[in-house]
Amino acid sequence: MPKGQRCRVSLSAQDEATLRMWAASRKGERRLGERAQVILLSAAGETVATISARTGLSPQACSTWRVRFSRRGLDGLRDRPRAGRPPSIAAETRLAVVALATSKPPDGSSRWSTRRLAKEIGIGPTSVHRILREGQLKPHRTKYWCGRSPDPEFEAKQAAVLGLYLDPPTNALVICVDEKSQIQALDRTQPELPMQAGSPRRLTATYKRHGTTCLLAALAVDSREVSGRCVDSNDHESFLRFLKSLYRAHPGTELHVILDNLSVHKHHEVLAWAARRRRLTLHFTPTYASWLNQVEIWFGIFSRDVLKDAVWHSKAELIRQIMSYIRIYSSDRAKPFRWTYTGKPLAA
């Protein structure tokens, strides 16, 4: 067909929708998308030269795919089966690999590896990898999801917490409180080797312990400033002292404190003391929904910045670094968290 000649083809509504989906797909085969674009441009009455320029295919190829579509429809755009060596792995073997990969290993481990699957089936690891890839199976990966809370008051408690975040009471302070327990003051048996050009910072795999501490932290939702205290044990007495210090630190201010359902937080002495305070209201997150507490976000930042691969020569050094980090974070980095979740609302 001459380059300048127009080559209009007619499309049904269903074929046009399928072709547009192929052409717009980013995960499908690129060549199938190019062929779909050829047919769509042909249906629009474009010339072969224009189609070739816009798709990057040669004029001969454009004409070929137009003819094949005219004769066989959408199936004509797919590659024909090619002659070659028959599959070397039997269908039964493939099914056995898939069945094992989707089951729990009998030796007590939690997941299969490619090499262990290969040894169990009696084929090479490369073949196992190919079978898993074709079946879109990934035994090495785990994806977590948030289950439904069994709390019968989930919606009411969730609405109360989110309401405090989105529309806090006037002249009131919303504080998220929680603890990070069992923070170990780990030292290394040999001095660390500092980072150099071409060599990362290096630590010995052997270590020694200098004790543990528990961090009680309170995050102010409006400013994201953090106050904290390190204690030896996480009991109701330590928690109550921390709660009292927060109450004294904000005289004349109405306090709304968000907590999870840890038994320490609901100890009868804690609840009795809070009930006698007019300016203080405790709000508990729903069961299995402590992620609603914004201080959990800060604990993630704290763990990444302070605890990961750290070295302390004493417990006192660990505590000094924690408190120094809290002071500098509150003065230099504190900004309110922005909630960006736009998915389906959670409901009981």
The pLDDT tens digits of the residues spanning 246-271 come to 999 999 999 999 999 999 999 999 99
**Average pLDDT score over the chain:** 87
Last residue of a domain, which of 77, 106, 121? 77
Q: What is the CATH number of the domain that holds 313?
A: 3.30.420.10
Q: Flag whether 84 is in a domain.
A: no
Q: Is the pLDDT of residue 331 over 70?
A: yes
Q: Range of 55's domain?
A: 13-77
Same domain, 126 and 237: no
Q: Flag whether 100 is in a domain.
A: yes
Same domain, 231 and 97: no
Same domain, 224 and 164: yes
Q: Flag whether 18 is in a domain.
A: yes
CB 35 within 8 Å of CB 65? yes
Per residue in 218-248, pLDDT (tens digit) is: 999 988 899 999 999 889 999 999 999 999 9
Same domain, 315 and 255: yes
Residue 335's pLDDT band (cuts 50, 70, 90): confident
Among left, alpha and beta (phi > 0; psi -120 to 50; other), residue 99 is alpha
Give 214-239 as a DSSP string. Answer: EEEEEEETTT--EEEEEESS--HHHH
Q: Flag whether 176 is in a domain.
A: yes
Q: Flag whether 320 is in a domain.
A: yes
* DSSP assigned state of 58: -
Same domain, 265 and 126: no
Domain count for the chain: 3
Same domain, 97 and 66: no
Same domain, 222 and 325: yes
Q: Flag whether 147 is in a domain.
A: no
Same domain, 130 and 183: no
Same domain, 325 and 180: yes
Q: Flag whether 198 is in a domain.
A: no
Residues ≥6 apart with Cβ < 8 Å to 217: 177, 178, 179, 180, 226, 227, 228, 295, 298, 299, 302, 326
Residue 204's pLDDT band (cuts 50, 70, 90): confident
What is residue 255's predicted lDDT score, i.e. its pLDDT?
95
What is residue 348's predicted lDDT score, i.e. its pLDDT?
44
Same domain, 70 and 171: no
Q: Flag whether 341 is in a domain.
A: no
Same domain, 71 and 108: no
Same domain, 167 and 293: yes
Per residue in 26-67, pLDDT (tens digit) is: 777 788 889 989 999 988 888 888 888 888 899 998 888 988
